[in-house]
């Protein structure tokens, strides 16, 4: 009985693999380049690509449970649909899919809308899956630390509605627990959706205040200029992706990203501990 993890060398997938291995699971990791895969001993590393059907058929052979994670790329939607169809062809009836919270609300944001389309496929084709819907990853803000610590500015235009930011380590552990629950079930479990959120709903001003307290010096939130944000992102990512991120931030401003009643309590009970907070993350960055 084997659990296959896609995106196994990434930020979330790496945590998923680690937690599965610690719990004694039989893990196979799908990677593009096995020579660069620094994974725990005992993990079966296989080479493959989510657009290469032959490599997927080989990787899925003998697999009982699938963790499907698709990176934010231009053909993310196609990758996900192909992977799920090949999994179905292989008879895999236990799936955990990493979607995103409010994919049904952020309808004009490409990487949200694509994930919502995948959710619809899972539902309409009767696949037995847990759909994890994480909020914005706290750890994304690692890329902002030099601006925060060096210039005293928190530049992410997240607005005043609030985001229930979640630590990637918590997302990885929740995914691993769900994979094991499905793997160990005597029969495939029905479709389920789980919002994966952090303990606090944070605005731009609140995040700046956390950094100010942790660093012991002023940190400002300059406001909600999504056009300037897109312009800055275009310096180190493709224009389509920078625009995608701008559209996401515009929905942060109008919709926010808040949990449903009971989400925090459910996750805390599942993990058996409190969820990691943004303050914890900022303190780790400051101490480093």
Share of the chain above pLDDT 90, in %: 98
147 within a domain of the structure (yes/no): no
CATH number at residue 115: 3.40.50.720
220 within a domain of the structure (yes/no): no
191 within a domain of the structure (yes/no): yes
Encoded tokens for 283: 């303190």
287 within a domain of the structure (yes/no): no
In this structure, what DSSP letter does residue 105 have? T
Question: Tens digits of per-residue pLDDT, 148-181?
Answer: 999 999 999 999 999 999 999 999 999 999 999 9
The pTM score is: 0.96
Question: Helices 110-124 & 239-255, crossing angle to 10 degrees?
Answer: 80
109 within a domain of the structure (yes/no): yes
Task: Name the residue range of residue 39's domain.
Answer: 2-135+168-196+259-275
Helix (H) or strand (E) holding 253: helix 239-255
Interacting residues of 18 by C-beta distance below 8 A, sequence separation 6+: 40, 172
What residues form DSSP beta bridges with 137?
166
Encoded tokens for 88: 């179905």
Question: Tens digits of per-residue pLDDT, 228-250?
Answer: 999 999 999 999 999 999 999 99
The pLDDT of residue 35: 86
**Can you spell out the DSSP letters for 150-181?**
HHSB-----TTT-B--B-HHHHHHHHHHHHHH
- Total structural domains in the chain? 1
Residue pointed to by tokens 């552990």: 173
């Amino acid at each position: 009985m084997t659990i296959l993890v896609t995106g196994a060398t990434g930020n979330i997938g790496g945590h998923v693999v680690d937690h599965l291995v610690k719990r004694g699971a039989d893990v196979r990791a799908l990677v593009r380049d096995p020579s660069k895969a620094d994974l725990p001993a005992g993990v079966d590393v296989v080479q493959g690509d989510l657009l290469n059907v032959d490599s997927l058929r080989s990787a899925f052979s003998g697999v009982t449970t699938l963790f499907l994670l698709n990176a934010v790329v231009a053909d993310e939607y196609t990758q996900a649909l192909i992977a799920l169809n090949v999994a179905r062809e292989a008879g895999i009836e236990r799936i955990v899919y990493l979607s995103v919270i409010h994919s049904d609300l952020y309808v004009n944001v490409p990487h949200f809308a694509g994930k919502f389309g995948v959710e619809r496929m899972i539902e309409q084709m009767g696949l037995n899956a847990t759909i994890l819907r994480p909020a914005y990853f706290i750890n994304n803000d690692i890329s902002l630390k030099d601006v925060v610590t060096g210039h005293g500015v928190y530049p992410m235009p997240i607005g005043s509605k609030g985001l229930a930011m979640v630590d990637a380590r918590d997302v990885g552990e929740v995914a691993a627990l769900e994979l094991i629950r499905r793997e160990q079930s005597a029969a495939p479990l029905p479709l389920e959706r789980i919002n994966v959120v952090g303990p606090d709903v944070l605005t731009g001003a609140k995040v700046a205040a956390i950094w100010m307290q942790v660093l012991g010096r002023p940190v400002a939130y300059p406001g909600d200029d999504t056009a300037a944000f897109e312009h800055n992102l275009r310096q180190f990512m493709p224009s389509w992706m920078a625009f995608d991120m701008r559209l996401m931030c515009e929905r942060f401003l109008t919709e926010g990203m808040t949990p449903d009643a009971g989400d925090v309590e459910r996750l805390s009970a599942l993990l058996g501990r409190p969820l990691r907070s943004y303050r914890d993350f900022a303190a780790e960055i400051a101490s480093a």
